Amino acid sequence: MSTLLSPLDTLAHRLGIEPSSETLVLALTHSSYAAEHATESNERLEFLGDAVVDLAIADLILREHPELNEGSSSVLRSRVVNEESLATAATALDLAAYLRIGRGVMKENGLQRPSILADAFEALVAAIYLERGYDAAKDFVQHALANAVANASSVTSTLDAKTRLRQWSEAAGLGAPVYETVASGPSHDTVFEATVHVGELCASGTGRSKKRAETRAAEAAWEGRRHAGTT
């Protein structure tokens, strides 16, 4: 006689994690749910998962793209390890179906927010790392983001976002971009938010390091320039 599995059990089996894993449940617990139920959220796991994802993708780039130097490899990684790509990977896993979020965020269609999905993906990676070790987490990340790496590597430009934005702004007579970065949160879980100003154009980005936050701000400014039709 077969036993029907719960949705969470099914996910656990797909990941090679015990269904009873408290770490898995924690990885799927958004801060809004944690606040409503006086429990811990997945934010600390997301911090760990962010580092594991970075390392796994760096490893993949090093092996599959030996022609790239350090700078170009960093650019490629930044094109892969970002909110959009991680949210897409989370969607492919149907991760929203398993997330625990607060009532208020649920009413605001929080399960569709790329930021929540991307953070949950990183927390899930951390859960795999803690339960099964780095090799299992690395294999999971590289498989989940393989298409993102392939697509990003097909882009011909090797300029990083900040360099590209600076070259354009100076050529347009706007001077060099000006970055303002602030840090928030405890020392073990600091989040940086950077804002870049180029003429009347302003954009922001966040990250676990000042460099990543400024890179994301530069990427947002570049996209804002394109969407605005500025040349």
- Residues with a known catalytic role: 50, 122
* Contact between 120 and 34 (Cβ < 8 Å): no
Location of structure tokens 């347009």: 172
Closest CA to 8 of 31, 39, 29, 34: 29
Bridge partners, 194 (sequence order): 181, 205
* Contact between 123 and 33 (Cβ < 8 Å): no
Q: For residues 31 and 198, give the distance between their C-alpha atoms in angstroms, rounded to a whole number.
A: 34
Q: For residues 206 and 213, give the distance between their C-alpha atoms in angstroms, rounded to a whole number.
A: 4
